[in-house]
Structure 1
């Protein structure tokens, strides 16, 4: 776990620019934000506001143009790709809309994969426990192609649980799911924080966002507002208002 009192994820004045000269696009324009341990944060904003870029920079999947990102106690600046991979492998989990499961492996093997990649012995009892927790015990020997979309997403969450990831990044995790299955998946993400894990989720869905402790709103690469204990109606109202406003003032959260 991270050093006591140190947030698992922190961004300080982070900028990200794609392209050069007249073709340059500033996806993040000085973002400062902290994600405390054991919290569930949703990141929202209009299309093109920089939501996924923020998540990718926070997770070390993309390198900021400027600014500092600290992930589970390590500053990411200057780390090699191998060092980044090793850091993420042992302490960070991912839940994406595309599931990212290996089709040749069974459910149980996919859930145990982070331990294998990290060179650790797979804790089979732990794998069985998390499969029971996500309701997939009877599917443990099946391969992803034999599962529904919702079941595949639950495998991805079980993988994060089994690896005891300190931080779980989720990018539109319910985008391909029906409403009933989406609620089940969001409930599982909510449960992760009971174990002290930190969840950062990008979503466009106000209903999904209301499962979080707080919602951060991005506009034109800037964090402009925060809503605590969100409801779907309040979130939808903020999104509608932000979609029509002019250049925003950035805030530090």
Structure 2
């Protein structure tokens, strides 16, 4: 793996089911996610976007191939060590926020540390909450916050362990346009200012335009990438990609 890669997939193939009924979700994907970069992953429905994220994050084991994250080969890890690595070295941000409603903002943010049996450094927690603009909401519960504020809590929680990489799965899918932009700017800032690595699955060309590059998937394969993307360029590529994905097998362009 390149020394500047936070995550690397090499020949990753994922098949659900067996025999003639098996469905190929990923078909020999090889890609690196360099340290300190923001990558968006896009593709038509069923293209393998979520499967790629799940395999890269150790949430799902590939049928074959290699996944190396933070210098560790995930495929070879036993479940206990894989769980510890996900807890300690990976941050997750999901569309549904996944906050515990009975806990305060501070308690939700510190949950990964407490589950790991680690000391909770108050200055680090205060700094994380200040970074996401919630220093005055530490004792509120999720039900007292807006959707955008809840997602910012989730980002602070993802950052608190200083992970090797943050995986974001449609992080703005449940938010309005203005709030979505705030969350995307926050993710962008964690890359530029803190050198964080972010991998984001999205269907939104505007969201993808906040990334350094966009990877495009179709039928479980990487079919292109776009660097320094604009929303218009991403939308145009997706239009062509949709047409390409709809062609019969064996068709050429």
TM-score, reference length from structure 2: 0.94
- For 1:128 and 1:209, the matched residues in 2 are separated by 30
1:48 aligns with 46
Structure 1 position 146, deviation (Å): 1.5
Whether the 8 Å contact between 1:6 and 1:73 is mirrored in structure 2 is no
Structure 1 position 136, deviation (Å): 1.0
User: Once the two structures are superposed, what CA deviation does each residue of 1:88-107 show, in whole Å capped at 9, x if it has no partner?
Assistant: 11111000001111111100
- For 1:30 and 1:113, the matched residues in 2 are separated by 36
Structure 1 position 80, deviation (Å): 1.4
**Worse-matched range after superposition: 170-179 or 16-25:** 16-25
Kindly tell me the number of residue pairs found equivalent between the two proteins: 247
User: Once the two structures are superposed, what CA deviation does each residue of 1:113-147 show, in whole Å capped at 9, x if it has no partner?
Assistant: 11111211111111111111111112110111221
User: Once the two structures are superposed, what CA deviation does each residue of 1:43-99 show, in whole Å capped at 9, x if it has no partner?
Assistant: 000000000000000000000000000011100122111101111111110000011
1:25 aligns with 23
Whether the 8 Å contact between 1:222 and 1:248 is mirrored in structure 2 is no
Query: Considering only aligned residues, what root-mean-square deviation do their CA atoms show, in Å?
Result: 1.5
Whether the 8 Å contact between 1:134 and 1:188 is mirrored in structure 2 is yes
1:198 aligns with 2:197: yes
1:87 aligns with 85
1:216 aligns with 215
1:152 aligns with 2:146: no
**Worse-matched range after superposition: 199-208 or 106-115:** 106-115
**Worse-matched range after superposition: 37-46 or 193-202:** 193-202
Whether the 8 Å contact between 1:219 and 1:248 is mirrored in structure 2 is no
TM-score, reference length from structure 1: 0.94
User: Which ranges in structure 1 are unaligned for 5 or more consecutive residues?
Assistant: none
1:8 aligns with 6
Whether the 8 Å contact between 1:9 and 1:70 is mirrored in structure 2 is yes
Aligned-partner SS, 2:175: coil
